[in-house]
A and B are shown apart, each in its own frame.
Chain A
Amino acid sequence: DSGVTQTPKHLITATGQRVTLRCSPRSGDLSVYWYQQSLDQGLQFLIQYYNGEERAKGNILERFSAQQFPDLHSELNLSSLELGDSALYFCASSVADGELFFGEGSRLTVL
């Protein structure tokens, strides 16, 4: 157990819909990262937050948005979903510039 909690574990929805993925970082970790992993693909960096502020942005689509709340949990919002958005979405947290601890992931299936 990494200490990073992601919900839901699985999510099935239809094209055009909107979903929210939630992440609770390890206690004390200020940084939260979101990654997308499509089937047999690598870890595509989406966005990073540090203590509530957006710190770095990767290849995140305009249909996607995220935020980190004062209690440090983070949410990734995916809207106008397309078939190609089906993937495993990982959240990871770290203290500062050290090891990333990954959650178990949220598997999104768009039908």
Chain B
Amino acid sequence: GENVEQHPSTLSVQEGDSAVIKCTYSDSASNYFPWYKQELGKRPQLIIDIRSNVGEKKDQRIAVTLNKTAKHFSLHITETQPEDSAVYFCAASSGSWGKFQFGAGTQVVVTP
């Protein structure tokens, strides 16, 4: 089955700097790669996603890149702000027929 590895487990950045989180997946059938943000005690919420027919997607300060050949995808947050502090999860899915597998999460701390 699908296995998703996520690095780093914790990431401390200065406000205004960039943050990068990387994930790898094992199932070549995976075709949907979302990123979720979870604030303390709250539910995970989608912040950006990408499908296997696209190499990069941007939404304001966040972007996701996908390398299907290497089976890895990354989240990039630019101009980080204190409100970006949260746990970020990557995930991979091969559609409604398969598991929706999450990475272990990255605790991001943005210090002013």
Contacts and interface: CB of A to CB of B under 8 A. Distances in A.
The residue in A33, A45, A92, A97 that gathers the most chain B C-beta atoms within 10 A of its C-beta is: A97
Interface string A1-24: 010000000000000000000000
Contacts of B95: 96-97
A102 B45 contact: yes
Contacts of A105: 43
Contacts of A50: 96
B102 A99 contact: no
Interface residues of A, number: 25
Interface string B70-112: 0000000000000000000101011111111111110000000
Interface string B41-59: 0111110010000000000
Contact of B96 (A35, A45, A94, A99): A94
Interface of A: 2, 30-31, 33, 35, 42-43, 45, 48, 50, 55-56, 58, 90, 92, 94, 96-100, 102-105
12 contacts: A2-B43, A42-B89, A42-B102, A43-B44, A43-B105, A55-B97, A56-B98, A90-B43, A97-B95, A98-B32, A100-B36, A103-B43
